[in-house]
Structure 1
Amino acid sequence: MSRTATHHLKRYLAGHPHYASVTVEAKPAAHDEVAVGDDVYGWRRDVYGPNAAIGGTDDDRMLAEAVEGVRYVLAQSVPRDRFLVTVTRVLETLADTNVGDVKLAAALACCEAIGITLADPPRLEPGGALFP
């Protein structure tokens, strides 16, 4: 049985916008693994049309943050069942998404999808995302 979860980070902190929305799907597995879905940025075609720009340096950086966020949760939460967690959607904006926002949203989505609460969860601080 798989579980899907989305975390929407929408906040102003110290006068700075922080926006990211990440969806993950978690399935029981023999060992922890993180994967990336086939169409993580497919939402852009719905918004901007069939020729929407997908891929490139910024997308790679945001996707790497999402994977880091999921890996952080999997490393911090033992013992527990093992999961294959797939990042299926990353939504961000050039103007409002800061470094660490996607990582934070992915981590919190992963927690929900695998049904855990970290003792000291990552959070947003005035300086950005904090991963204890």
Structure 2
Amino acid sequence: MTSSSRHGAPPDRQSGTLANEVEGYLLLQAEREQAQREAEALCARLPWLTHGQAEDLTGHYTEQRLGLTREALQATADRAKRLRGEYEARYATLRRTLLRRHAVCACLVMACSTVAGVGTCLLAR
């Protein structure tokens, strides 16, 4: 453990990428095991299947299920990416609007103080 990670500093990008890869691998294995269990349960309800047929059905079911899961996750990731882009664009617009409003308010305050200062000088004469 490095001294920066001991003191609460964020981990470097490489370790974050590695953690994401490990998490993805573990999630894939869990999904594969779940699909395998479901396929075996299906085959158990079909007692007329031979051992080879049951293995084929299990393999096809597992691959089909993993493909569907992959498609669903990809659709979710694509949607998240689109939403992020939309939110970032909206945030940038709001930030520009807020900056513009603050600039106008600052100009008004400066103008008012200038007018007040000039008015005070004129009244003092």
TM over 0.5: no
Structure richer in helix, relative to its length = 2
Provide the TM-score with structure 1 as the length reference: 0.21
Structure richer in strand, relative to its length = 1
Provide the TM-score with structure 2 as the length reference: 0.22
**Structure with more contact order per residue of length (Cα contacts < 8 Å, sep ≥ 6):** 1
Higher CA-based Rg: 2
